Structure 1
């Protein structure tokens, strides 16, 4: 997360202030049985809705460009061969494991369950109509493989116009692979164009996120006025489950991957990544930690330089295990909070979108926010619930950034197994014998 400042104060501090102000005002109204003047409540709700609609407006071009460029940056498979392919497959596999861990934890502990169903239905009715108008609801069941067939768009433009996020992301994934396979000066320029689109979307997201403190205050006021103290109880349970899922992935999944697939003692690995671990936690920024991670990979873990530099540089944006896990946990928690029973199919949709979204999450404050908002509306959950989690997002962001950076080093360790720094320079002309005298 970037430490964007307003008036010399970091943005996350303003977000916390907005969270507390909205929570305090909403609890005061709830506990005293007060009624807010209708036109005032309409303005408060409109502020939150404007913020959400701005996110929805930007999310499709952001995700398409991020995912396509993220895959394309895996490198030229013709020259990198198995290294690029191993990196891509490992990224998808570990992201899938991360999301699965999160979904199992949320289903097991049910941190969002127990809220008054009548209140949940009230707010659900207020937000569901607007949400479904932005993004269509997910299918409730799989019939004759229709779900998997629907993942492949017959017309990607139509899919985009109808805000069918999963088909568009699948197309972006295939498009990125195509750019890797068809490497040429023309595709390089195309990749630069998509990179430009990505940077524009990131800039616009940055501008929208600056509205977050006010939007969070509005969203939290609405939620706290309806749910009262139940809000704080469920929020604490959510944070505990999210941290528990991250801990399992960090201290169980990663050591097993390093040991089994990387051929390295997990204790040696843990000793070698201490410095990037601390920097990632303190800065909450994968990009800021990248130089420290590169140094640790080469000097502490003794990984081949060309492999570690490739995997870690790409992984800073394309290997977001912690972010994917966080998105899955957040969506299911809010579904439970609002009493929306997600079918196995819908949870599969959440998992797939989180995996794909993790390959190109924007490196901006609350960069996963657009993905979460869109997934919520896909499964019929009011996107206003985002305000509930943003107040504790800073600490969770520090934790998931640490998970992301450690995951990059795990990937570098696994991909480096059997590799070396000895490469044959590509595209060099054959030596020409000097003319005979």
Structure 2
């Protein structure tokens, strides 16, 4: 059985087993003991293992992503890539916010469901809320005065900015010591990816335990409410992938959307299986060069940057989750507040680590900023792994659509140089 198939089986098993246990045992002492002493600890350990790796992996991934870019090409290719990323990330978040405001998936949550979330926290504190959420204050707070404290406080935006600045400085410094430092950070990235692979082997059991815990405590009621949240996320992801990106491929890339999705199906399947844009990068490069036949220098530039910076699905998910939890707890958010959330999600989507659970610290940070109870994250932990697989598929699709757009009008790597002499006929 493949990894994603095993994941889906265990999601169903945890859900059904929890519902059966709730129906049979209700609030019995033995079921409470099983949840408290076994399934909740298993689920918490899995989440804590993932969150433990996010900060060092995010730092290493962003630094190496910047270092591996060809700085000579950034002027020509970088502007198109950055503009495309910002525009389509904004569209993704806006689409998600519109659907949440329209469909109201978080409305009607019972006090019992809210209380149960406190028993299943993400075990990671949110960043301290800034004194002001005005645009000027947010821009100032993006710049960390102490990157180590920033990482410890869970301020992912500050850590992202520091990582990008550090990576730029490292790329521009060509001394022997700087090159050795680059090798060291590459080693850190390799170790973190190996650890992520190990943790993901526990994912089916961790997710099944999380779902069992929630369903055994609350039964069908909370399942219906969580499924409404899942449905909104999947609807938003689907509309963006097959609607927005189809239009992009047709009008900006000059290709047929049907042939595009057919050509990239291997990369989409890999993204869904691994829930990691970084782990899918080798497959995406292969698909871009062999199936889409994009110039090698374009595909390597755009896809390498995109694996760390073009996270449309992640940005969309973060926006939907924050508004959903605000609805659950009855926290009113004005249009101005939602505009600020959109801005943060777009920025975080550009810098969130392309690894499983990389968006959870950012969601916690935003919840803390707007005084939304952070323990609410416990309501979505059981389904986050599945949604992570889905949003990673959108992320990788967006990377390839961006590469298609940037490649349009670029010379092919194998094309003869202008003015080169034609070979003489013999």
Give the TM-score, by structure 2 length.
0.78
Indicate which of 360, 375, 380 corresponds to 1:372.
360
Q: 1:228 Cα shift? A: 2.3
2:306 aligns to what?
A: 315
2:265 aligns to what?
A: 278
Structure 1 contact 294–309 (Cα < 8 Å) conserved:
no
Indicate which of 326, 336, 348 corresponds to 2:317.
326
Unaligned runs of 5+ in 1: 425-437
Distance 1:305 1:384, change over 3 A: same
Distance 1:96 1:181, change over 3 A: farther
Task: Trace 1:386-397 onto structure 2 (pairs within 5 A).
Answer: 386-390=380-384, 392-393=386-387, 397=389
Indicate which of 396, 419, 435 corresponds to 2:410.
419
1:86 aligns with 2:80: yes
1:96 aligns with 2:90: yes
1:166 aligns with 2:177: no
Indicate which of 111, 119, 122 corresponds to 2:112.
119
Task: Trace 1:135-214 onto structure 2 (pairs within 5 A).
Answer: 135-139=126-130, 141-142=132-133, 145-182=136-173, 187-214=178-205
Unaligned runs of 5+ in 2: 274-279, 368-372, 416-426
Indicate which of 63, 69, 85 corresponds to 1:68.
63
Distance 1:143 1:305, change over 3 A: closer
1:356 aligns with 2:351: no
Deviations 1:36-87 (A, max 9, x none): 46654431433333333333322211222222323333x1323553113432
Distance 1:119 1:218, change over 3 A: same
Give the TM-score, by structure 1 length.
0.76
Structure 2 SS opposite 1:135: coil
Structure 2 SS opposite 1:297: coil
2:244 aligns to what?
A: 253
**Partners of 2:50 and 2:107 in 1: how far apart?**
27
**Partners of 1:338 and 1:27 in 2: how far apart?**
27
Structure 2 contact 118–378 (Cα < 8 Å) conserved:
no
Structure 1 SS opposite 2:256: helix
2:21 aligns to what?
A: 25
Distance 1:114 1:24, change over 3 A: same
1:54 aligns to what?
A: 49
Distance 1:91 1:134, change over 3 A: same
Aligned length: 400
Q: 1:281 Cα shift? A: 4.3
Q: 1:402 Cα shift? A: 4.3
Q: 1:170 Cα shift? A: 1.9
Distance 1:280 1:334, change over 3 A: farther
Please provide the CA RMSD for this pair: 3.7
Deviations 1:179-231 (A, max 9, x none): 44546665554333323222222222333333333333332233224432222
Indicate which of 399, 415, 420 corresponds to 1:408.
399
Distance 1:356 1:227, change over 3 A: same
**Partners of 1:141 and 1:348 in 2: how far apart?**
11
Deviations 1:150-198 (A, max 9, x none): 2111111222233322211221232233344546665554333323222
Indicate which of 285, 292, 303 corresponds to 2:287.
292
Structure 1 SS opposite 2:292: helix
**Partners of 1:68 and 1:102 in 2: how far apart?**
30
Q: 1:113 Cα shift? A: 1.9
**Partners of 1:417 and 1:107 in 2: how far apart?**
37
**Partners of 1:247 and 1:140 in 2: how far apart?**
37
**Partners of 1:275 and 1:64 in 2: how far apart?**
34
